[in-house]
């Protein structure tokens, strides 16, 4: 990977394409333009590596990483690197998820606390050296700018730096400055530099948190009684300090709640309880870590050792607290009435701040009327099937009329993460799914079960169905290990003639047969794809055939055994639309009106193959592809299946 300040020359092909978000999300992925122009580098080849453009920063960054690794050890070094340098690449994905669901993810983003402490440390050092206020401001400006260049120009750190610089130079000029003016100036400067940051989630969250702090910290502090009388005794001072910290963290968390709810469809109420404990731990661990590294750089081992141990203890407590809370913290999905109430509260607050009693009263009446109009009985859900856009792999979520949820396969995994953590779990949270009745892994290929372990760790799975003895293959072994993270799901081997029921929906297992299940997979010469679990689900006039990765041999077995009983209006095309699946004889029996192909964009296998698409076209099946449509939802109606793309297009 390129280091700080390095300049690389590569050759390849850049291609823009429509940008899609995940179902229910209002923001594009991090680092992606919201206007549908994503540059992908295909077939890159390194042509030349130039010398570092900023050698000092490159050396400093490399040295810092080495000292962090040595001082904090392999267990805590990733967390320390994330907190000090803003680099989360080495962090355990499960720990990142824990920070997310507990509402403490902001601690991993370099922001105001980092910049303020660093500037304070610099100011003290310069003051001890006899610098004037102007010299101190100039020194802090330069060194904070170097820190921003070192950790990257994410919106949160740039916002913090701009606000700090404005305050520093205002004080150096002996001018009073309004926090709102500084807040607005930082936003204007960032947007003048990078206008598209207006649509960046990190930008919005960063400014929302500071906005919440400016609006709510004072009222919350007064409500807690922290300003009623001056503190004289040490205990009172400590209490005042803790109360102020509680007010600040609560205000900042409240400021980000509307953005979080709009972006993800869920909020983490645990943040209000956890932040008052996590933020002080972070506030203690961060300066201890910086001081330890500073002492290390100066060769003061007598100081560096104790400071490192104190910082490691504090960061270890923070990590343990967040991990413990993350395994127990539910997320809350607001209903329609809550959305209306929240919008009304914001309007009332705006009118109140403007000092208009008449507007406030009218808005209160309007909000009450809106709540009455929206107070209707819950809409009974139907049967819905969602093919998540997980790239080259399968992840199919089934939502049943009785409120239960199944997951058939969980998407692929790669060195940069897995679809279970990146796509499936966020989708389930947005839908308010708290448990999965059945996780069915059709076969042990990595593009189908790579994300299953993350799903088992991240939500409750009651039963886990597999076509052969559970434990075949490395992905299954990882899934078995993940069962220890939560209440272990009941493992079930599925075979032909099994029938599963979920309310009014029946699911018949058509394959593998008992002979397939009994055969040792390690000695079986047949392709393992042919042992995929095949399900036929029925509800009213809606029939759905899920085929895993079976090809022509297994399809021929099904045709011989079941004939016209295979008929289904909606087909999941086998093996991602490969050339050797969706045979003409098989399709003649199924006679689908629609087929879904779960496939990755520009995949190296050439899926879906033109021959498979031609055979689907010959039976007049309308083909829906995740590589072109994103996530696809099929809803059962009295007239049959109705399909649509659930993914937002920005262009």
What's the DSSP call for residue 528? G
pLDDT above 60: residue 28: no
Q: DSSP for 372-384, please give it.
A: HHH--PPPPP--E
Residue 41's pLDDT is 52
pLDDT above 50: residue 650: no
Residue 54's pLDDT is 60
Residue 42's pLDDT is 47
Task: Lowest mean pLDDT of 156-170, 179-193, 267-281, 407-421, name the range.
Answer: 267-281
Instruction: Give CA–CA dist 143/301, Å, rounded.
Output: 25
Which has the closest alpha carbon to 347: 334, 365, 373? 365
Q: Do 54 and 5 touch, CB atoms closer than 8 A? A: yes
Strands annotated E in 175-228: none
Per-residue model confidence as pLDDT tens digits over 434-486? 899 999 999 888 899 889 888 988 888 999 998 865 544 555 656 666 655 55
Per-residue model confidence as pLDDT tens digits over 497-535? 999 999 999 999 999 988 887 777 667 778 888 889 999
Query: What contacts 277, CB < 8 A, 6 or more positions away?
Result: 321
C-alpha distances in Å from residue 195, one per residue of 31, 33, 154, 294, 566:
14, 11, 14, 37, 54
Residue 226's pLDDT is 59
Average pLDDT over every residue of 92-98 = 81
Q: What's the sign of the alpha-carbon dihedral 636, 641, 644, 646?
A: positive
Chain centroid to Cα 257, Å, comes to 16
Per-residue model confidence as pLDDT tens digits over 125-147? 887 888 887 887 888 888 888 88
Residue 20's pLDDT is 56
Q: How many C-beta atoms surround the C-beta of residue 614 within 10 A?
A: 11
Residue 483's pLDDT is 57
Task: Lowest mean pLDDT of 46-50, 329-333, 461-465, name the range.
Answer: 46-50
pLDDT above 50: residue 648: no
């Amino acid at each position: 990977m390129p280091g700080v300040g390095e300049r690389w020359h590569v050759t390849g092909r850049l291609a823009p394409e429509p940008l899609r978000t995940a179902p229910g999300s209002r923001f594009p992925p991090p680092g992606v333009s919201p206007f549908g122009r994503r540059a992908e580098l295909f077939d890159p080849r390194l042509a030349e590596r130039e010398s570092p453009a900023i050698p000092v920063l490159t050396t400093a960054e490399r040295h810092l990483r080495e000292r962090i690794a040595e001082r904090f050890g392999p267990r805590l070094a990733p967390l320390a690197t994330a907190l000090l340098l803003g680099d989360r690449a080495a962090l355990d994905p499960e720990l990142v998820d824990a920070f997310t669901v507990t509402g403490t993810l902001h601690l991993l983003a370099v922001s105001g606390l980092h910049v303020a402490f660093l500037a304070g440390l610099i100011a003290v050092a310069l003051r001890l050296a006899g610098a004037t206020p102007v010299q101190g401001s100039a020194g802090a400006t330069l060194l904070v700018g170097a820190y921003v260049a070192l950790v990257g120009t994410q919106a949160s750190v740039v916002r913090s730096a701009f606000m700090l610089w404005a305050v520093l130079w205002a004080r150096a000029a002996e001018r009073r400055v309004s926090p709102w003016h500084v807040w607005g100036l930082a936003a204007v400067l960032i947007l003048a530099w990078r206008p598209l940051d207006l649509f960046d989630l990190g930008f919005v969250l960063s400014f929302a948190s500071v906005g919440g702090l400016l609006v709510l910290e004072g009222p919350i502090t007064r409500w807690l009684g922290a300003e009623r009388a001056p503190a004289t005794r040490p205990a009172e001072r400590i209490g005042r300090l803790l109360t102020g910290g509680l007010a600040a963290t609560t205000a900042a968390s409240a400021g980000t709640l509307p953005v979080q709810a709009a972006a993800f469809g869920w909020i983490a109420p645990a943040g209000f309880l956890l932040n008052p404990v996590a933020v002080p731990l972070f506030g203690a661990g961060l300066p201890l870590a910086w001081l330890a590294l500073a002492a290390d750089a100066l060769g003061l081992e007598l100081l560096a050792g104790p400071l490192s141990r104190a910082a490691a203890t504090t960061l270890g407590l923070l990590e343990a607290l967040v991990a413990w809370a993350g395994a127990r913290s539910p997320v809350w999905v607001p209903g329609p009435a809550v959305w209306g109430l929240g919008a009304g509260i914001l309007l009332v607050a705006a009118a109140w701040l403007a000092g208009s009693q008449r507007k406030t009263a009218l808005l209160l009446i309007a909000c009450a009327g809106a709540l009455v109009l929206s107070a209707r009985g819950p809409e009974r859900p139907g049967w819905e099937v969602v093919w998540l856009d997980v790239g080259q792999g399968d992840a199919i979520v089934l939502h049943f009329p009785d409120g239960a949820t199944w997951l058939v396969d969980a998407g692929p995994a790669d060195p940069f993460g897995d679809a279970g953590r990146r796509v499936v779990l966020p989708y389930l949270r947005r839908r308010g799914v708290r448990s999965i009745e059945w996780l069915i892994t059709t076969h042990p290929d990595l593009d189908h079960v790579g994300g299953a372990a993350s799903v088992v760790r991240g939500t409750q799975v009651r039963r886990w169905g597999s076509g052969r003895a559970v434990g075949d293959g490395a992905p299954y072994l990882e899934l078995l290990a993940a069962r220890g993270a939560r209440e272990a799901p009941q493992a079930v081997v599925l075979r032909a003639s099994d029938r599963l029921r979920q309310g009014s929906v029946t699911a018949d297992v058509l394959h593998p047969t008992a002979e397939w299940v009994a055969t040792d997979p390690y000695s079986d010469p047949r392709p393992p794809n042919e042992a995929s679990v095949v399900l036929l689900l029925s509800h009213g006039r809606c029939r759905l055939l899920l085929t895993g990765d079976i090809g022509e041999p297994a399809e021929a077995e099904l045709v011989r055994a079941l004939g016209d009983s295979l008929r289904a209006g909606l087909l999941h095309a086998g093996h991602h639309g490969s050339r050797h699946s969706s045979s003409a004889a098989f399709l003649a029996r199924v006679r689908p009106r629609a087929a879904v192909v779960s496939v990755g964009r520009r995949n190296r296998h050439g899926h879906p193959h033109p021959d498979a698409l031609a055979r689907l076209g010959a039976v007049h099946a309308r083909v829906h592809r995740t590589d072109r449509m994103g996530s696809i939802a099929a809803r059962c109606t009295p007239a049959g299946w109705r399909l649509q793309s659930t993914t937002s297009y920005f262009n």
